[in-house]
Amino acid sequence: MLDPKLIRETPDLVRAAIAKKHLKVDLDSVLGADAAWRAHLQEVEHLRSVQKAANAAMATLPKGSPEFVAKLSEMKAVSSQIKEKDAGLKAAEEACREAMLTLPNLPHASVPEGATPEQNVVYSTHGDLVSVSPHAVAHWDIPGFARLYDFERGSKVTGAGFPFFIGDGARLVRSLINFFLDEDAKAGYREVSPPIFINAASATATGQLPDKEGQMYETTPDRLFAVPTAEVPLTNFFRDEILDEASLPVLRCAYTPCFRREAGSYGKDVRGLNRLHQFDKVELLKWVHPSRSYEELDALRNDVEGLLRKLEIPYRVLLMCGGDLGFAQSKKYDLEVWAGGQKRWLEVSSCSNFEAFQARRAQIRFRSKESGKTELVHTLNGSGLAVPRVLAAILENNLESDGRVRIPEALVPYFGKPHLSFAG
RNA sequence: GGAGAGGUGGCAGAGUGGUCGAAUGCGCCUGACUCGAAAUCAGGUGUGCCGCAAGGUACCGGGGGUUCGAAUCCCUCCCUCUCCGCCA
């Protein structure tokens, strides 16, 4: 949610910023709903002040006195009037809130112009693409792949996109999760193991609801949602709380499985491990002072890049253009690993600054020593990292002539041996 | 799942229909005293929203109701605690 004052006072600025995201938003109807709500509010509050004054007077009058009786009948009329207008006020308030929720976050000035993913800016590229994978093939074409990554049985048991990970395949998943958590902890992120179901209020605070309902798995009859990312429970950890300014920045990391319905995906994007309905991910989250959020974004991206460097995976960083920014982000970097067999880049992390957008929805604030008032924090998050695509890149890039996969040195202590074998 | 108790400000804890946004204590902030501190004394100390402002208004777990008037009465939902049952 945006600052209502900003919308009222500088609508043209908001309009221009939204245009940079190439989104169509009816700002005028938002402004209209806001004005209607304020008019209703003033009307009702005036009536209430009349009522309050009369009630204070009645409290001192003898119960049966003529003055009391006169006030009583007078206030009966006011009371029913308030009741009537209050219904209108609630409707106007709801309409206003709904309208406000349709407004996306504004992009930062440093976000490049552009409408499509092709216009994202390649911010940096790391590693050797050519010589890194002399034997690479797409991971699903590796002989024996199906023995360790069983999609058919996954389909039988649950559905497409829910594979079994078996033997060394499962072990590599676990190694990556542990490696990520340990590295993230070293970088200062405190580990959290959150609930993997969230309620509607939490999903609304982070922006999954009301629009992206169809992307989540929902349970009945409790109306809980399987987490699409640990970002949701993690961000909501401090919902409706006022933090101590001295505690900022707060850094947290969490591993969870992530569940995404991914309605409408098809083709090469979804082959093999590229896109699953359930996958493992470690998420990084920061609650920071507003004055420092862009420095913190750079630091976050650096932390994630460090993981890829240690795993010796070639990667590149994209700076997302306005049109490819998400609804809630002010600025976003995507990190993509090179999958040498598929010869394509796979997104393994998005590092985003949400500024106060999520914090306003979630009411996460701190008390400023300087002003003495409460202010909204800025929230940032990034994957550190998504497991299956990292795993795919390792399988493809590190495939050796004997059909085994070389485990990156940093991962060997976790995996327990230097090679993964598809034989067993 | 069953039975009971309870949800009030940063914390503890009063308040059971009327000038209650809410006593009191603790904590915290400011000032006085002090070389400084402690102790003591005085004052202050919740969060929003509307309004240029003056000011107004809302919030006692959430929602609804009764009433001229609700922290207080009624309904409903949620949560916490204790006991029992079940269970990884």
- Contact yes or no for A392/A114 (Cβ under 8 A): no
Kindly indicate the confidence band of residue A164, based on its pLDDT and cuts at 50, 70 and 90.
very high
Regarding beta strands A250-259 and A378-386, do their DSSP bridges make them parallel or antiparallel, or are they unpaired? unpaired
Cα Dmax for chain A: 103
- Contact yes or no for A40/A94 (Cβ under 8 A): no
**Reduced to 3 states, what is the DSSP secondary structure of residue A48?**
helix
Q: Which residues 18-57 of A interface with strand B at a CB distance below 7 A?
A: 38, 41-42, 45-46, 48-49, 51-56
Task: Write out pLDDT tens, residues A267-299.
Answer: 667 788 999 999 999 999 999 999 999 999 999
A4-100 and A117-420 share one fold: no
- Return the closest-CA partner of residue A174 out of A423, A424, A407: A407
Element spanning A275, H or E: none
Task: Write out pLDDT tens, residues A298-342.
Answer: 999 999 999 999 999 999 999 999 999 989 999 999 999 999 999
Scanning every strand, the nucleotide with its C1' closest to A78's CA turns out to be: B68
Please give the CATH topology (third level) of the domain spanning A4-100. Helix Hairpins (1.10.287)
Task: List phi, psi (to 5°) of A55.
Answer: -65, -35
Q: For nucleotide B19, give the residue with the nearest CA to its C1'.
A: A56
Task: Write out pLDDT tens, residues A209-237.
Answer: 777 888 899 887 778 899 999 999 999 98
Distance A373 CA to B32 C1' (A): 28
Distance A104 CA to B80 C1' (A): 37
Scanning every strand, the nucleotide with its C1' closest to A41's CA turns out to be: B50
ipTM: 0.84
Task: List phi, psi (to 5°) of A155.
Answer: -65, -40
Domain range list for chain A: 4-100, 117-420
- Contact yes or no for A196/A227 (Cβ under 8 A): yes
Strand B bases within 7 angstroms of protein beta carbons: 18-19, 47-51, 56-58, 64, 68-69
Scanning every strand, the nucleotide with its C1' closest to A42's CA turns out to be: B50
Cβ A4 to strand B below 7 Å? yes
| A117-420: CATH number | 3.30.930.10
Reading across the β-sheet that carries A315-319, which strands appear in turn?
Answer: A121-126, A315-319, A331-339, A344-353, A378-386, A278-288, A250-259, A190-192
